[in-house]
Amino acid sequence: MPEVIKNVACPYCGACCDDLEVTVEDGKILEVKNACIIGTEIYHHASREGRVGSPRMRQPDGTYKDITYDEAIDYTARMLIKAKKPLIYGFGSTNCEGQAAAGRVAEEAGAVLDNCASICHGSSFLAIFDTGYPSCTLGEVKNRADVVIYWGSNPAHAHPRHMSRYGVFPRGFFTNKGHRGRKVICVDPRYTDTARCADYFLQVKQGHDYDLFDAFRMVMHGYADDVPEIVAGVPKEKILEVCDIIKKGRYVHIFFGMGLCHSDGRNHNIDIAINLVRDINEVTKCTIMAMRGHYNIAGPGVVWSWQFGFPYCIDLSKGSHAHMNPGETSSVDLANRGEVDAFINIGTDAGAHFPIRAFEKLGSHIPMVTIDPSVNMAATVSDVHIPVAIVGVETGGICYRMDNVPIQYRAVVPPYNGILTDEELFNRILNRMLELKEQGIECDGKWEYAKAIPSLIPVKLEPEA
């Protein structure tokens, strides 16, 4: 008999849609309702043939051999003990219970503990440390916002149901006209599919958002006359028009994404955005929110802030107190300088999403373990690949939405082939580490570090004439 499970939360993007209806029969997923096309694909992927059903270890000839969980856990525990400075990176796609368990393992191992924020909204964290975070929950946007700005973000592709659940189309308590009562502004160098839904589109020159924010702030401070005719490719009259819309708004909200975090200026793009929000609050109500990527990438920030006091790039190698300095202790910087000697890739894919010049230093010279439900690029070059249950499909748990609202995830089918959850796996790794240490196994300090990139060249390309 097919059974319909309601109020299921989706494990893809930071919108954390928790209104899915999944039909299951005999432990197989038949149908998914309400999810976007990406979310639907996650549930069907879980039931597809050919998933990895047990841990695998690379053999000298390059093939993989299935091993038991005990062997995989023993390998990982020994690797962590033996390493002088292991790196544990990922956590965008697991629940808070798994992240807390990993925190305990990292503390025991004296590891560097980092999450995907360091290549995503890490810039936003840096700006928040500097200037604060005047934010709100997504319900506030839905119920009150009449001016919504998407700056350097493209929810039509990255957070597919964001505009229909929170930002543009829903009819809220004080916004009962839906999208007809809202002014939507999109700022992007591309005319994206989000820009198509917007009332105003500012085509900013790539990497010049800081200039545009500066112009906005000048207008807000009453120096509109001094703004040049064109700023960052945007004509002055358009800037004045949009500033007028903002000043007349009852509740203005800014969503920002990778357009600011990844471009020139990094954290300074965000901190000037936050300062603009403060300026706008002189005339009307305004809030800002980072468009967090994975469904639980806000989770490690919350869990580890509570465990260690820092959200990401946490260096636990001192053993007694944690240290954080993203330019020094972030995953990519450590890889660039060859400062790690073992690597665990968990709930992410550093292989696909790190610049290859950084990743090849991790993938080629040092032992590496991938913990992921599926085969990903990191797994294809790992020494050991340990499959785990998919959060939101095969196991439940707490996940934090982009506005740091915790959502209770639930399982709809049992784990494939009886595989472990992240939390169970990390708890068993910790127990094994304690056992081995009791047997007198310790770091012998003999392992090679990864190789550093010989010359790091910044962005500009100047080919030889």
Q: Which of residues 146-165 bind another protein (CB under 8 A)?
A: 154, 156-158, 160
Task: Find the helix or strand (DSSP H, E) in which 386 lies.
Answer: strand 384-386
Could you tell me which residues come within 8 angstroms of residue 177 by beta carbon, excluding any fewer than 6 positions away?
171
Segment 169-198, which members bind another protein (CB under 8 A)?
189-193
- Site of tokens 């056992």: 435
Minimum distance between the CB of residue 465 and another protein, rounded to whole angstroms? 9
Q: What is the rounded CA–CA span in Å between residue 123 and residue 326?
A: 9
Minimum distance between the CB of residue 186 and another protein, rounded to whole angstroms? 11
Q: What is the rounded CA–CA span in Å between residue 49 and residue 82?
A: 37
Among positions 98, 110, 122, 397, the unique one binding another protein when judged by CB under 8 A: 122
Q: What is the rounded CA–CA span in Å between residue 365 and residue 132?
A: 40
Nearest by Cα to 73 from 423, 421, 426: 426
Which residue, 97 or 333, has its beta carbon nearer to another protein?
333
Minimum distance between the CB of residue 270 and another protein, rounded to whole angstroms? 11
* 131 lies in the site for another protein, by CB under 8 A: no
Among positions 7, 68, 176, 364, the unique one binding another protein when judged by CB under 8 A: 364
Q: Count other Cβ atoms within 10 Å, centred on residue 189.
A: 18
Select the span of 167-175, 369-377, 404-412, 434-442 touching another protein (CB under 8 A). 369-377
Residues 401-440, mask of contacts with another protein (x by CB under 8 A): ----------------------------------------
Select the span of 75-83, 118-126, 168-176, 406-414 touching another protein (CB under 8 A). 118-126
Segment 256-295, which members bind another protein (CB under 8 A)?
258-259, 261-264, 266-267, 293
* 374 lies in the site for another protein, by CB under 8 A: yes
- CB–CB of 200/185 below 8 Å? yes
- CB–CB of 370/362 below 8 Å? no
Among positions 22, 52, 83, 147, the unique one binding another protein when judged by CB under 8 A: 52
Q: What is the rounded CA–CA span in Å between residue 289 and residue 111?
A: 31
Among positions 145, 168, 219, 335, the unique one binding another protein when judged by CB under 8 A: 335
Which residue, 176 or 417, has its beta carbon nearer to another protein?
417
Residues 194-233, mask of contacts with another protein (x by CB under 8 A): ---------x-xxx----------------------x--x
Token pair for 298:
């806000």
- CB–CB of 391/95 below 8 Å? yes
Minimum distance between the CB of residue 418 and another protein, rounded to whole angstroms? 19
Minimum distance between the CB of residue 224 and another protein, rounded to whole angstroms? 22
Among positions 18, 349, 403, 422, the unique one binding another protein when judged by CB under 8 A: 349
Minimum distance between the CB of residue 443 and another protein, rounded to whole angstroms? 25
Give the CB-side neighbour count of residue 171, counting CA atoms within 13 A.
3
- Site of tokens 């499959």: 387
Minimum distance between the CB of residue 366 and another protein, rounded to whole angstroms? 11
Which residue, 164 or 203, has its beta carbon nearer to another protein?
203
H helices within 35-113, ranges in order? 37-46, 69-82, 96-109
Which residue, 220 or 297, has its beta carbon nearer to another protein?
297
Minimum distance between the CB of residue 50 and another protein, rounded to whole angstroms? 7
Q: What is the rounded CA–CA span in Å between residue 6 and residue 29?
A: 13
The values of phi and psi at residue 143, to 5°, are: -85, -20
CA angle 346, 352, 355 (to 5 degrees): 105
Select the span of 299-307, 426-434, 440-448, 455-463 touching another protein (CB under 8 A). 455-463
Q: What is the rounded CA–CA span in Å between residue 247 and residue 416?
A: 54
Chain centroid offset of residue 153 CA: 14
Minimum distance between the CB of residue 334 and another protein, rounded to whole angstroms? 9
Minimum distance between the CB of residue 335 and another protein, rounded to whole angstroms? 8
Minimum distance between the CB of residue 213 and another protein, rounded to whole angstroms? 16
Token pair for 118:
């360091």
Token pair for 449:
């570090």
Which residue, 21 or 328, has its beta carbon nearer to another protein?
328
**Eight-class DSSP state of 416:** G
Among positions 377, 391, 412, 413, the unique one binding another protein when judged by CB under 8 A: 377
The values of phi and psi at residue 355, to 5°, are: -55, 135
Token pair for 184:
């939507």
- CB–CB of 291/156 below 8 Å? no
The values of phi and psi at residue 212, to 5°, are: -65, -40
Segment 233-252, which members bind another protein (CB under 8 A)?
233
Which residue, 143 or 203, has its beta carbon nearer to another protein?
203
Q: How many of the chain's residues bind another protein (CB under 8 A)?
A: 79
